[in-house]
Amino acid sequence: MLLIVLAALWLFPIAAFKNPGTNDALYLADLQLPLLLVGFVGLIVAIVRAGQQRAAMCIALGVFLIGASAAMLLGLVVFGNTRNDRYLPLLFLPPLLVSPGFLLLVVGRVIRGSRGELLRAAAYGLVAAIAVAVWILVRGPRDWLLAPYGFDVVLLILIVGAALAMRRPQAHG
């Protein structure tokens, strides 16, 4: 199911904006911050409801948010241009992601869990962050400058974060 959602998200800009103009759908760029706010509220709810998996969820999401932040900065370094305001989300969104990421890592360590499960959770978060980096780099500067101006990346971060939050640890033995 996740792969279908991600494929639809990849095709969204192509289908919705066949011949985008320079300033088409700027409202989507304006929705990035409110969408992240909704995601953070969902994150808090997921952590509160996580039960025994709370520590692993915090670690996975913390690593993911820090990695997604790094992925955006990588995009800025590889193809961004700080003189073009359409690349600004690559600059101003990382601090908004990295701060809760570090907080989640601290909370995950304070709560404590089995070392093996925390390491697996961190690995899942890292793989998810690498997927975001690949997404950003493959989309590249041309797609970033056209509608939806990184809105798809914010949606990607929320979808992958939700998938990490819903992941249930498997019994190992």
* pLDDT of 146: 75
* pLDDT of 95: 95
* pLDDT of 159: 95
Q: What is the pTM of this model?
A: 0.92
Burial of 24 (0-12, 13-18, 19+ CB in 10 A): middle
Residues 17/147, Cβ–Cβ less than 8 Å: yes
Angle between helices 151-166 and 115-145 (to 10 degrees): 160
Looking at the chain, how many residues does it have?
A: 173
* pLDDT of 173: 46
Burial of 135 (0-12, 13-18, 19+ CB in 10 A): buried
Q: Report the chain (173 residues): mean pLDDT per 10 consecutive residues.
A: 92 81 76 93 91 92 98 93 83 94 95 91 97 95 80 94 84 50
* pLDDT of 164: 94
DSSP string, the chain: -HHHHHHHHHHHHHHH-SS--TTTTHHHHHTHHHHHHHHHHHHHHHHHH-GGGHHHHHHHHHHHHHHHHHHHHHHHHHH--TTSGGGTHHHHHHHHHHHHHHHHHHHHHHH---HHHHHHHHHHHHHHHHHHHHHHHHHHHHHHHSTTTTHHHHHHHHHHHHHHHH--PPP--
